[in-house]
Amino acid sequence: MPDYKIIVFLCNWGPHAAFQHLQDQGADIPSEIKMIRIPCSGRITKALLLRSFEMGADGVMLLGCQSGTCRYGSGTRSAHGNTSETCRILDLMGIGADRLQLDNFLPDRPQVLLARLQAFVRQIYEMGHSPILPHASVRGEAPAALTPEAIVAAHDVFACQDCGKCTSACSLALAGKPYSPREIANRIIAGRADDPDVRQAVNACLTCGLCYERCPSAVNFPAFIRSMRAYYHHHRLVEAPTHGGFFQSMMRAMTAENLLPRRWRDLPAEIRTRAGAPVLFFGGCAPYFDIFFNRFLGVQTARILEDSLRLLNFFDVEPAVLENETCCGHDLLWTGDRENFLRLARRNARAFADSGAGELVTACPECYHTLAHDYPENGVPLPLTVTHIHEFLEREIDKGAVGFKPLGATVTFQDACRQSRFDGRSDLPRKLLARMTGTELLEMPESGSGAVCCGNSAWTGCDAYSKSLQVKRITSARQTGSEVILTACPKCQIHLRCAMEDAMRAEDLQLETMDLTSAIARTIYWEGS
């Protein structure tokens, strides 16, 4: 069978010794196998495993030492966890969990290893080629006029008055990082866009929009940063994203036209959906986050989607869902990969049109902003109305006849940047909270359109200052006397819970987190029922 590519990562100790014995004996090792010698199976991260498929692998095998014999102690355990979680994500994406396998060998089992490799190759033959096609170039659709000078002019960065209000408001500067949006702008204007420290600063921006909120000249710094990242991406000068670039690989893989994700198969039985319904629900990437962070944070952001569907059902809406739903592309756009963002956007737009729905509801503020604003602004208009679940709930609850059981806790609220500033709707969650009888909202000093970022955006630029920012935000929330911090974005929940894992300050940072949608689903009822 021609053109199959199978990557085998071999631990340098036991498995490689067995493999080398086969090579020395001239054994019939399948020619499709490309062997990569590694120091330990535990060093192969989820990002590297997924990256292999993004680069065109049809199958990947990770071979480590047997449990209890790993020279690094925890290598076998790490390999098992990384492989297991990546397999679950491959399955959810529609690539196929069986395309990735883990096995363990000692040096004295070369013939068993040979049989295992041959069996794996036969299995990949039976599965066929991976649906993921490697991308030939990152340059494809980047505009020819994408130069720093053109970007500065397009965003009217010359209007900067150098007043410094952006720096005094910047979330990173407030966390102690020597960071100044106006300085970055001035250095790019001065022709130093390609300086490594300028590039790093552009990558570090949280794009939270607080600087734009305070700028007297209305210089849209987040949009400027986004364009600069596209410039760097076009010239292959991309800074390393967080988590080894796992999520960027995942999103690029989702652009494959023949990919068939198995998106909604694990919905609870009581949730009602209906094909061909006039309302379409778009979930986003929360289920992938839950798998990826399972061992570290124990997040359950997919519950936001389930509770959103429950609330739609509560108001007698049985929405359609797309089994082949893919990412909206928010993080690709905000890391400068406009080419693949557009691929996802066009694929999603076709799927939405084929659904026949007239309204799309989403629970994610990033998905909402991307679908409602970024798609049409980038030449991909959608044939339906995009509604955030908060807007839907406010509309339905305002009709009356519903009440709320007490949540049983005092709460504070972490605004999502895309909702509070980008869409100017910090009022929406507060209207809903005001309706929740028995739930007292204790605002943090920085809230609403002035709320500080949760510490990261688009899976890029996370550093010690991001962690400091998260700790500061949790401390501020605890100082309100609240027992629960309500969030409106799955990433806010992930980032805040990440800070709570700090081994040195764990007790000082513990605070229950819950999405507002879940809080409403837990407490709402029909009056008189």
Map residue 49 onto helix, strand or coil: helix
> In this structure, are 357 and 418 located in the same domain?
no
240-276: per-residue pLDDT in tens? 889 999 999 999 999 998 898 988 988 999 999 999 9
Instruction: Please state, rounded to an integer, the average pLDDT across all residues of the chain.
Output: 93
Residue 141 lies in a domain: no
> In this structure, are 269 and 385 located in the same domain?
yes
Residue 244 lies in a domain: no
| Category of 497 on φ-ψ map: left (φ > 0), alpha (ψ -120 to 50) or beta | alpha
235 near 444, Cβ under 8 Å?
no
> In this structure, are 104 and 153 located in the same domain?
no
> In this structure, are 194 and 265 located in the same domain?
no
Give me the torsion for CA of 501, 502, 505, 511, rounded to 10°: -30
- Strand pairing partners for 487? 414, 515
> In this structure, are 157 and 207 located in the same domain?
yes
For residue 43, pLDDT over 50 is answered with yes
At 207 the pLDDT is 96
> In this structure, are 386 and 297 located in the same domain?
yes
Give the strand pairing for 512-515 and 484-487.
parallel
Percent of the chain, pLDDT > 70? 97
The CB-side HSE value for 336 (13 A sphere, CA atoms) comes to 25
> In this structure, are 503 and 416 located in the same domain?
yes
> In this structure, are 406 and 384 located in the same domain?
no
- CA–CA gap between residue 11 and residue 126 (Å, rounded): 27
Q: How many domains does the chain have?
A: 4
- CA–CA gap between residue 181 and residue 205 (Å, rounded): 8
At 137 the pLDDT is 46
CA distance between the termini of the chain: 64
Residue 169 lies in a domain: yes
At 135 the pLDDT is 64
* Model confidence band, residue 33 (pLDDT cutoffs 50, 70, 90): very high
299-356: per-residue pLDDT in tens? 889 999 999 999 999 999 999 999 999 999 999 999 999 999 999 999 999 999 999 9
At 146 the pLDDT is 84
Residue 242 lies in a domain: no
At 414 the pLDDT is 97
> In this structure, are 266 and 370 located in the same domain?
yes
Q: Positive or negative CA dihedral for 242, 243, 248, 251?
A: negative
DSSP characters over 474-490: HHHHHHTT-SEEEESSH
| Average confidence (pLDDT) over 472-484 | 96
- Look up the CATH number of the domain holding residue 15: 3.40.50
> In this structure, are 499 and 389 located in the same domain?
no
For residue 495, pLDDT over 60 is answered with yes
* Model confidence band, residue 277 (pLDDT cutoffs 50, 70, 90): very high
For residue 232, pLDDT over 60 is answered with yes
At 73 the pLDDT is 75
At 144 the pLDDT is 55
Residue 135 lies in a domain: no
At 238 the pLDDT is 78
At 340 the pLDDT is 95
422-432: per-residue pLDDT in tens? 999 999 999 99
At 141 the pLDDT is 45
Residue 474 sits in which domain range?
Answer: 402-526
Residue 315 lies in a domain: yes
Residue, of 8 and 13, whose pLDDT is higher: 8
Q: 23, exposed or middle or buried, with CB in 10 Å at 0-12, 13-18, 19+? A: exposed
* Model confidence band, residue 1 (pLDDT cutoffs 50, 70, 90): low
129-175: per-residue pLDDT in tens? 999 977 654 444 445 568 999 999 999 999 999 999 999 999 999 99
List the single range of 154-163, 206-215, 256-265, 475-484 with lowest mean pLDDT. Answer: 256-265
Residue 246 lies in a domain: no
Q: Which of 69, 98, 127 is the last residue of a domain?
A: 127
For residue 22, pLDDT over 60 is answered with yes
Q: Which of 96, 127, 158 is the last residue of a domain?
A: 127
| Average confidence (pLDDT) over 97-120 | 94
411 near 441, Cβ under 8 Å?
yes
- CA–CA gap between residue 412 and residue 440 (Å, rounded): 8
> In this structure, are 427 and 368 located in the same domain?
no
Identify the CA nearest to 189 among candidates 155, 144, 218, 212: 155
- Tokens in use for 90? 């491959």
At 139 the pLDDT is 46
For residue 433, pLDDT over 70 is answered with yes
378-410: per-residue pLDDT in tens? 999 999 999 999 999 999 999 999 999 999 999
Amino acid letter, residue 35: M
Q: Which of 350, 368, 394 is the last residue of a domain?
A: 394
Residue 323 lies in a domain: yes
At 138 the pLDDT is 44
> In this structure, are 323 and 199 located in the same domain?
no
At 157 the pLDDT is 96
